Amino acid sequence: MSADRHVPSSGLPDPVSGRLLDNRYLVGARIARGGMASVYEATDTRLDRTVAVKVMHAGLGDDEEFAARFVREARAAARLSHPHVVSVFDQGNDDGIVFLAMELVQGHTLRDTIAKESPMPPARALALLEPVLSALASAHRAGLVHRDVKPENVLIADDGRVKVADFGLAKAVSADTQHTATKGVLIGTVSYLAPELVVEGRADARADVYAAGVVLYELLTGSKPHEGESPIQVAYKHVHHDVPPPSALVPDLPPYVDALVARATARDPGQRPADASVLLHQVHRVAHALADGVPDDAELTADLALLAPAREGDTSPDMWDDAEMAALMEPAAAVREDTATYPAAKPPPMAPPDSASTAAPTREPGPPRPRRPRSQRPRRSRRGPLLLVLALLLTTAGGGAAYWLGWARYTSTPGVIGLAQAAAEDKLDSAGLAVEYADEAYSETVPAGMVIATDPTAGSRILQDGTVTLTVSLGKERYDVPKLKGLTEDQAQDALRGVKLAYDETIERWSETVPAGTVLRSVPAVGTTLRPGAAVDLVVSKGRRPIKVGSWVGKDIDDVRRALERRGLEAEVTSEVYDDAVPDGHVISQEPRSGTLFRGDAVSFVVSKGPELVEVPNVTASGYESAVDKLEALGFEVKVVRGSTYIGLGFVYSMDPGAGAMIPRGSTVTLNLV
């Protein structure tokens, strides 16, 4: 529903505003009021979204048969899933308050657009009508008839989206069977009612087509096709007069536009499009002709033109008897323009061709009554006047007693809603009434200390010395988010329920200091003031964050230390050993070899000191064999060279590397012999 149709306050608190319907919908201000229901902006506390809540007026909602029918039609409407239909979310009955929860459309109605733009170009009018027909076509395919198509039920969002509201509502009220709340009358908006709805009280999808055609006429001309001094006169014209061509008010409209309006608003339902999908197809044809700039299309106009009615057995509305419509003109059949209510007349039976059968039946003369002779007058009885006087006395006494018992002892309950507690007591005391108090109640609209309800209600009959029970407002019901930090998740949820707030979801976060499963904070934060039922999220610890160790074997220990520090881990060198294969300062092994640790934990490393260095001994002038033995004992490889200076003595003449050099064990020492 649209949120822009504000209803001015009457100065008295609305009994529905501030209530929590179905323990879910917190009702706010009233934004619209119609003939059957009022619409309120509300908060769905379960899903934390703003919705529109349509509340049936008490006269309708109190009837069980209507409530059951309303539930069925609401379910049917909820099955409609269409981009141009206002979505129905939920339906309920909260202590006699029958309501619908539906999509809240921020914007305005088509009525506002008509007031600002009409008369508008036909292309613009069809562009506005097209989404309406698309929505109606979807409903007709689902077997649902709207029955109350009018500009007020077409919502236009601020972003330009067009949506149709109140599907199923009108059908629930004016169902095929009579309804006690409406006392067998038809409910609809008189300016858009199809003739068969006026006369028969029954309709199908073609009634929606008729109403859409009237809306199109209004878009094109800025006025309604039929006007009258009273809604009944308007209804009469719908039955007996065709909708005039819009070109009568707006010249230069193409003839096929006139033909489209005439076809949609034909008084004979058989000449109208069968449903909204057929009319939508015709609208597309006309829109294409307008887009092409065609001033006249004889073929299109002929296709849309009405057929001549048959002469024999013609059952068009023109042949309905004026006497039936005259019944609608009785003063008792009062109607309203916005939501007209009037008796649904049935069409009169068709007269057979034989004119003789149409003659009024005549009473056959009976035998003549014997006349009393003038001289024979009956004797008057004296008991008659006595009985008459006695009856008058008894009637007077009974009437006085009835007046005293049924009326004179009673007074009307004064209205004190909206008054301060002391002022309400003074007003009731002045009326001779005693005061009692019910439990205080919260209210979204009435300040604390003011009266929000009375029992009996204002204007109700009450004994002159009776007692009026007052309910005083506690103000707006609000609760602060409690301190939840340090609690377990279950404890925090219980704490939220204890202050009428709702748990929504858990958000997990790592914590180096708080154990897993413990609440870190809430969103909103502690101390935030919220409405009852508002959702609160819990931020819960997942415990310490695990850190991947990784493999560092063969890496320079200095690089490893810096990398681990960035991760929050420490590098601990437990030993340094010689390793012929691993360069000095590089990792030989680590512990743990893989897996995860937590921040501040250490990884142990064995670091290479490189190959072990051995001093080369001086074996110069030593014998060949002793020199080799000495070098090999130290782990060196020995290479013997007999050069050009070799004379066979077998002594070491020189060595490479020279004596005193520090070389890795296993290195080769070359001996030159002489």
513 with 645, same domain? no
Angle formed at CA 67 by CA 64 and CA 70, multiple of 5 degrees: 150
Catalytic residue among 148, 208, 258, 275: 148
3-state secondary structure of 24: coil
Q: The CATH number of the domain where 466 resides is what?
A: 3.30.10.20
Cα 55 to Cα 93: distance, rounded to the nearest angstrom: 10
DSSP 651: B
- 370 part of a folded domain: no
Q: Which residues contact 641 (CB under 8 A, 6 or more apart)?
A: 670, 671, 672, 673
Give the model's pLDDT for residue 332: 33
173 with 297, same domain? yes
Structural domain ending residue among the three candidates 541, 556, 576: 541
- 635 part of a folded domain: yes
Q: 396: number of CA atoms within 13 Å, CB side?
A: 6
- 313 part of a folded domain: no
- 8 part of a folded domain: no
Angle formed at CA 602 by CA 596 and CA 606, multiple of 5 degrees: 105
Give the model's pLDDT for residue 75: 75
Q: Which residues contact 608 (CB under 8 A, 6 or more apart)?
A: 576, 577, 578, 579, 582, 583, 584, 585, 586, 587, 588
- 405 part of a folded domain: no
135 with 51, same domain? no
Structural domain ending residue among the three candidates 515, 541, 567: 541
588 with 605, same domain? yes
- 438 part of a folded domain: yes
Q: At what angle do helices 205-221 and 276-291 cross, to 10 degrees?
A: 30
Give the model's pLDDT for residue 342: 37
Q: Tell me if residue 148 is catalytic.
A: yes
* Token duo for residue 136: 């109606």
72 with 199, same domain? no
Range of the domain at 508: 479-541
Q: Which of 328, 205, 215, 197 is CA-nearest to residue 267?
A: 197
- 400 part of a folded domain: no
Give the model's pLDDT for residue 6: 43
Cα 547 to Cα 514: distance, rounded to the nearest angstrom: 17
617 with 602, same domain? no
Give the model's pLDDT for residue 382: 52
Exposed e or buried b per residue across 217-253, where buried means at least 16 C-beta atoms within 10 angstroms of its C-beta: bbbbbbebbbebeebbebbbbbbeebbbbbbeebeeb
222 with 256, same domain? yes
Exposed e or buried b per residue across 498-518, where buried means at least 16 C-beta atoms within 10 angstroms of its C-beta: eebbbbbeeeeeebeebeeeb
Could you list the mean pLDDT of each consecutive 10-residue stretch along the chain, which spans 674 residues?
47 76 92 80 92 81 66 74 89 86 91 94 96 93 88 91 78 41 48 89 89 97 90 89 96 96 95 94 95 92 78 42 46 39 38 35 40 44 54 56 54 86 91 91 86 83 88 91 95 92 92 94 93 92 94 94 94 91 93 93 94 88 87 89 80 89 88 86
Per-residue pLDDT reduced to its tens digit, 523-537 = 999 999 998 888 999
3-state secondary structure of 563: helix
Sequence-distant contacts of 503-508: CB under 8 A, at least 24 apart: 503/535, 503/536, 503/538, 504/48, 504/535, 504/536, 504/537, 505/537, 505/538, 506/537, 506/538, 506/539, 506/540, 507/537, 507/538, 507/539, 507/540, 508/539, 508/540, 508/541, 508/542
Cα 58 to Cα 67: distance, rounded to the nearest angstrom: 11
Radius of gyration in angstroms for the set of CA atoms belonging to the chain, rounded to a whole number: 49
Q: Which of 452, 501, 504 is CA-nearest to residue 478?
A: 501
The total number of structural domains in the chain stands at 6
Residue indicated by tokens 């309800």: 453
566 with 647, same domain? no
Q: Which of 225, 228, 227 is CA-nearest to residue 244?
A: 225
253 with 280, same domain? yes
199 with 302, same domain? yes
